[in-house]
A and B are shown apart, each in its own frame.
Chain A
Amino acid sequence: MPGIPSQILAGDVYVITPGTGPYSINDSLAQNLSAQTWAQIVSPEIFSLGTLRSAPVVIRGVDPVVFLRMEDVVGGPPSHLTIPWALAGSGLASRLGLASGQELTLVGSSVSRLDVVPLAGTYRATTAADDELLVDYATARFLTGVGSGVYHSIRVETSQPAALVAFLAARGASAHVAGPGGSVGPVNSAPLPTDPRVINLFLRYGLGRLPLDYVAEGVTEASNSVQVVAWGLEVFVLLMVALGIHAVQARAFADRRATVGVLRSLGAPATWVRLRALGELAPLAAAAGLLGSVLGFLGAAVLTPSAAIVAFGHEVRVALDPVSLLSVAAAVFLVSLLSELVLLQGALRERPSVSIRGTAARESPPSLEVVLRD
């Protein structure tokens, strides 16, 4: 989920967005880029955020042949596309029940617009584009208010990002370039601010003008924001799981509290008791962590796509990521060991006789005197 904004904008290729200088993301730049030998595919694009049948949808104005080639879509677009046309990714089509020949009601992005566009077909992609709607440039310009001959971004598939940056610098184009590994850097443009608090104040209070290169800044902030929310949710879930584990272990430990007292009365040092308890627990905790991670992954895979989470119009896909699985297992393992140490510490602080008899654990019930006194 955290990577969705940058996946939408760039995917696995390099994306050129406007810089702080004069607007340079235009037809001329796209044509010159297409003529370079190091640029395998060049796709100028116009973005429109909208709704379709009340669901959020990313609408992209593209050259369908170029775009679908960049997204490795087998078969390409339908032949004889007549303007206006729309093509829907298979994920979006199945979610919203779209079929070729239907008329789609589309709305504007940052300006008020309403249009009806026929759906000419669908395509299947393995990228974020599978959840998007493609339209012709004229429709995209109408929906976004973007003028003739200019675009929001140009995506370039190349193995030589340095050549791309050098080309832009030589041409005097003001742009930001970002790629699969993150930002490549500004070209003839001021760098992105490292602290966006001033821009955020503008946004919050509606004062001042946003910078010209807000697209790059906005995508970075959107990615960060989604990432922070996703991690925040993870922190909350981790806290819940940690205290759940502690509660279960506390219940199990209550039955074995007397054993600690027996061991202590037989002269076992506290460190030995701790190591022995951890030694007993570690294999169980590791196995439980791994089993839980695998069950969680399998559960998510089984529930997808019928119960898939859709964020910002894109389905959050379940990926078999060994690092994530092992991280979850490691977190469960550590929480379990820490919980055991906390519980042991409490038992070790008691006198062995108290642990054995369990007298302290027995609570003296408050008598009825509170009632009788009244």
Chain B
Amino acid sequence: MGRPVLRLATRINRRTRWTAWAIALACMVLVGSLSLVDGLGAGVDSVTARFSAGPTVYLHGDDLLLSAIDENALTAIPTDYAVLRAHMGTLAVNGLTLQVVAASLTTYHAGNATVPFPAGPQDLAIDTGLRHEIENASGLAPGATANLTLFGLPAQSLSVAAAPSARPAFLPDTWAWVRADFLLGLSPSQGGPAQAVVTPAPLNAALVARLGLSPLQTVGAIGFTQASIAEARSVLLGLGGVLAVIIGLLAYNAIGLEVHLRKEEIRTLRSLGAPSSTVAAVYEGKALVLALLGATLGSALGVVVAHGIVSFAPLLGFPNLIFLPLPLVPVALAFALALGAAALGGLVPARRAMGLVRPSREARPS
């Protein structure tokens, strides 16, 4: 029975041809728009790809100071890594009171933890930029001791140590550095969790997800482009949702009309012994065939029109940086949307077709 069902489902007439064209148009708009935005992203990526990416920083959330990571869970990281703690605090030194970031760094090499600076648990390493700031404001080099207030607790008197010698280059020179055990001793609940994990190369995405971390792109131009293109894509995906509804309605309308006009044919089929599921398969199949045709034609048209726009723009005085990539994702999305929406749209008329039967001779009025 499969072959007849297929032949009936693929009968294309004038009405259904127009429906296929309408679906093609909707798919063309989706594929073309997404291709253009992806092309802009690829063009800008080609500029940002020339930037060196630097180390990878992972946070819990998207704000350094609000991030809280359980350091014990990080043993699952297979490579060397560093753990950064950072908190806003108040530094009192040389008679000045300054709002500073008090941070600590712990590096892990083959599972062994090392705190590179400062040397002692009650030491405070004032970095060079902050040191200059203090010197400029007070006219003196920082004194031997300084008071650091953190977490709203009483001020802690710390010995001022030398500036860190090997601070990671991506961090500013205006922070004050303490040891992680000092923060932990001060407040296990607030000083214990780490704020960031720094790795020389990106970690496995599954591991990152398992640890509940999110990467923070420290080369902002890359993050800026990615986030901007993501914004544009989300707007277009909203358009995709609208198009899906339209495709669903088109399929519903076309198949509903087909069922209405072919009532007698369906009844004949049923009286010849075709089960109701076969009849439903014919009309549900027809909706899918229309969607398939429309998505294929629309995707091709979308690609051609997008290339046409980008190619002809320089001739109109608009040289641009749009590198249209192979639109695999937009095409896949168009097919998924068209087939899904048409399948849903065809469901109701197909069910209606299932209920059409020729009245039996006995049931007919005399």
> Which A residues lie at the B interface, using CB under 8 A?
48-51, 53-59, 83-84, 103, 105-116, 118, 142-143, 194-197, 200, 203-204, 206, 210, 218, 220-222, 224-229, 231-233, 235-237, 239-240, 243, 247, 309-313, 363, 365-368, 370-371, 374
Stretch of B42-50, B147-155, B185-193 lying at the A interface: B42-50
Q: How far is the CB of B41 from chain A (nearest CB, A)?
A: 10
Q: How far is the CB of B208 from chain A (nearest CB, A)?
A: 15
Instruction: Decide: B319 and A221 in contact? CB cutoff 8 A.
Output: yes
B63 contact set on A, CB distance < 8 A: 53, 105
A239 contact set on B, CB distance < 8 A: 25, 28-29, 305
Instruction: Decide: B321 and A374 in contact? CB cutoff 8 A.
Output: no
A309 contact set on B, CB distance < 8 A: 235
Q: For the complex, give the distance between the alpha carbons of A54 and B171 in Å.
A: 19
A84 contact set on B, CB distance < 8 A: 174
Q: For the complex, give the distance between the alpha carbons of A310 and B323 in Å.
A: 22
Q: For the complex, give the distance between the alpha carbons of A103 and B18 in Å.
A: 58
A59 contact set on B, CB distance < 8 A: 220
Stretch of B107-115, B306-314, B337-345 lying at the A interface: B306-314
Closest chain B residue, CB of each to CB of A227: B318
Closest chain B residue, CB of each to CB of A143: B220
Can you show 16 pairs from A to B with CB atoms below 8 A apart? A51-B217, A51-B223, A51-B224, A57-B224, A58-B224, A103-B88, A112-B169, A113-B220, A114-B172, A224-B313, A229-B322, A231-B313, A235-B309, A236-B305, A239-B28, A310-B231
Most interface-central of A57, A115, A116, A231 (chain B CB within 10 A)? A116
A197 contact set on B, CB distance < 8 A: 319
Q: How far is the CB of A141 from chain B (nearest CB, A)?
A: 11
Chain B residues with a Cβ closer than 8 Å to the other chain, count: 80
Q: Which residues in chain B, 213-241, are within 8 Å of chain A measured between CB atoms?
A: 216-221, 223-225, 227-228, 231-232, 235
Q: For the complex, give the distance between the alpha carbons of A206 and B88 in Å.
A: 41
Q: B39-61 CB contact bits vs A (8 Å, 1 = yes)?
A: 11001101111111111010000
Q: For the complex, give the distance between the alpha carbons of A289 and B363 in Å.
A: 56
Closest chain B residue, CB of each to CB of A144: B220
Instruction: Tell me, yes or no, whether B165 is within 8 Å of chain A by CB.
Output: no
Task: Apart from A112-B219, A313-B224, list 12 A-B contacts with CB within 8 A.
Answer: A51-B217, A112-B52, A113-B218, A114-B172, A200-B43, A218-B47, A225-B43, A225-B320, A225-B321, A229-B40, A311-B231, A374-B4
Pick the contact of A112: B40, B174, B218 (CB < 8 A). Answer: B218
B322 contact set on A, CB distance < 8 A: 225, 228-229
A55 contact set on B, CB distance < 8 A: 227
Instruction: Given A225-B43, A229-B37, A365-B265, verify A111-B314 contact (CB < 8 Å).
Output: no
Instruction: Given A224-B319, A225-B320, A235-B309, verify A243-B22 contact (CB < 8 Å).
Output: yes
Q: How far is the CB of A219 from chain B (nearest CB, A)?
A: 11
Instruction: Decide: A224 and B318 in contact? CB cutoff 8 A.
Output: yes
Q: For the complex, give the distance between the alpha carbons of A197 and B265 in Å.
A: 61
Instruction: Tell me, yes or no, whether B138 is within 8 Å of chain A by CB.
Output: no
Q: Which residues in chain B, 12-51, are within 8 Å of chain A measured between CB atoms?
A: 13-15, 18, 22, 25-26, 28-29, 32-33, 36-37, 39-40, 43-44, 46-51
Q: Which residues in chain B, 286-326, are within 8 Å of chain A measured between CB atoms?
A: 302, 305-306, 309-310, 313-314, 318-323
Instruction: Tell me, yes or no, whether B7 is within 8 Å of chain A by CB.
Output: yes
Q: Which 3 A-B pairs have the closest CB atoms?
A: A112-B54, A50-B220, A49-B224
Instruction: Tell me, yes or no, whether B101 is within 8 Å of chain A by CB.
Output: yes
Pick the contact of B33: A49, A54, A233, A243 (CB < 8 A). Answer: A233
A367 contact set on B, CB distance < 8 A: 265
Majority SS at the chain B contact face: helix
Q: How far is the CB of B189 from chain A (nearest CB, A)?
A: 19
Instruction: Given A233-B36, A374-B7, verify A114-B318 contact (CB < 8 Å).
Output: no
- Counting residue pairs across A and B whose Cβ atoms lie within 8 Å, the total is 208
A106 contact set on B, CB distance < 8 A: 220
Instruction: Tell me, yes or no, whether B352 is within 8 Å of chain A by CB.
Output: no
A231 contact set on B, CB distance < 8 A: 309, 313
Q: How far is the CB of B260 from chain A (nearest CB, A)?
A: 12
Instruction: Decide: A111 and B52 in contact? CB cutoff 8 A.
Output: yes
Closest chain B residue, CB of each to CB of A139: B172
Q: For the complex, give the distance between the alpha carbons of A110 and B53 in Å.
A: 9
Pick the contact of A114: B46, B57, B261, B320 (CB < 8 A). Answer: B57
Pick the contact of A206: B49, B99, B310 (CB < 8 A). Answer: B49
Closest chain A residue, CB of each to CB of B312: A228
Instruction: Decide: A195 and B52 in contact? CB cutoff 8 A.
Output: no
Instruction: Given A228-B310, A229-B40, verify A113-B170 contact (CB < 8 Å).
Output: yes
B51 contact set on A, CB distance < 8 A: 110-111
Instruction: Decide: B11 and A108 in contact? CB cutoff 8 A.
Output: no
Pick the contact of B223: A56, A226, A370 (CB < 8 A). Answer: A56
Pick the contact of B228: A56, A83, A220 (CB < 8 A). Answer: A56
Instruction: Decide: A118 and B99 in contact? CB cutoff 8 A.
Output: yes
Instruction: Decide: B319 and A363 in contact? CB cutoff 8 A.
Output: no
Q: How far is the CB of A40 from chain B (nearest CB, A)?
A: 31
Instruction: Tell me, yes or no, whether B62 is within 8 Å of chain A by CB.
Output: yes
Pick the contact of A107: B43, B217, B305 (CB < 8 A). Answer: B217
A370 contact set on B, CB distance < 8 A: 4, 7-8, 11
Q: For the complex, give the distance between the alpha carbons of A105 and B320 in Å.
A: 33
Closest chain B residue, CB of each to CB of A222: B321
Q: How far is the CB of A191 from chain B (nearest CB, A)?
A: 14
Instruction: Decide: A221 and B320 in contact? CB cutoff 8 A.
Output: yes
Instruction: Decide: B224 and A56 in contact? CB cutoff 8 A.
Output: yes
Instruction: Given A103-B65, A226-B40, A240-B29, verify A365-B321 contact (CB < 8 Å).
Output: no
Q: For the complex, give the distance between the alpha carbons of A20 and B331 in Å.
A: 43
Instruction: Decide: A50 and B224 in contact? CB cutoff 8 A.
Output: yes
Instruction: Decide: B320 and A228 in contact? CB cutoff 8 A.
Output: yes
Q: For the complex, give the distance between the alpha carbons of A313 and B216 in Å.
A: 17
Instruction: Decide: B319 and A195 in contact? CB cutoff 8 A.
Output: yes
A50 contact set on B, CB distance < 8 A: 220-221, 223-224
Instruction: Decide: A224 and B320 in contact? CB cutoff 8 A.
Output: yes
Closest chain A residue, CB of each to CB of B223: A51
Q: For the complex, give the distance between the alpha carbons of A374 and B64 in Å.
A: 71
A194 contact set on B, CB distance < 8 A: 319
Q: How far is the CB of A203 from chain B (nearest CB, A)?
A: 4
